[in-house]
Structure 1
Amino acid sequence: MVGLIWFVQIVHYPMYDLVGRSSFAKYQQAHQLRTTLVVGPMMLIEAATTVAIVYWPPAGMGPYYTWGGVALLFVVWFSTALLQVPRHHALSSGFDPVHHRALVVTNWIRTFAWSGRALILMSYLFQILPD
């Protein structure tokens, strides 16, 4: 998810204002549907594997890794539900520069949270992989 969120943050969301106001509502509605079909299952799999790690932690994965990952996943989900989804909903009726800017700015929360999860995983892997 970290690669996808960086693409969305740096390329995709900032380019919303290039779509054109006359076709933006239709674009946004299609975007929401297609994005949900791609990202929804990946987020659910990520949540399921996070729960699995809580119950069956891999060898050498201490509680800081486990609960740090859980905390960051909560940040992602709460940010999505409370910040990004409402902005997308507002934009589905037409382009609004205020909602667009808020979407780009608040999406940094998810970008940093998913990046933090990647750093946790890399740190864990460096500990368990042979020299």
Structure 2
Amino acid sequence: MIILGVALASLFGCGTVITVPTIVKMPDGSVLRGTSSATMTVGQFSVTNAENTLTCSGTYNPMDASHVITVPLSCSDGRTGTAKITRTLSGMAGSGTATMSDGTIANVAFGEGLTADKVTAPPSAQPQMAR
């Protein structure tokens, strides 16, 4: 854990901001693009759709050494949610799913070289049949 802290401290330096592309793909195939940025004290992300009608954002602890992190998020349309992200060993890339307050599930990915075609849309939610 001490080695990780030293490695992150040298990576971030004093006041250094690391920024990587971030993409969220919704069940209907729509894409929200933006960035995730981190310093030694705060991590944050923001993504927006092409029409600029929906923005989602959140913050996380960049010093959390967990392989899987949970990131609370909120969107401009009033929805809230939680993203569960599995990070690579470097912590500079990762992917996972976001579950929104209305039940929507979206796929999330971040990291250098990321393009929308590398992120798949989650299956559309299917209504549950009454038994």
Same structural fold, with TM-score higher than 0.5 when normalized by the shorter chain: no
Larger Rg: 1
Give the strand-richer structure, 1 or 2: 2
If each structure's helix is expressed as a fraction of its own residues, which one has the higher value?
1
Query: Scaled by the length of structure 2, what TM-score is found?
Result: 0.30
- Relative contact order (C-alpha < 8 Å, sep 6+): which is higher? 1
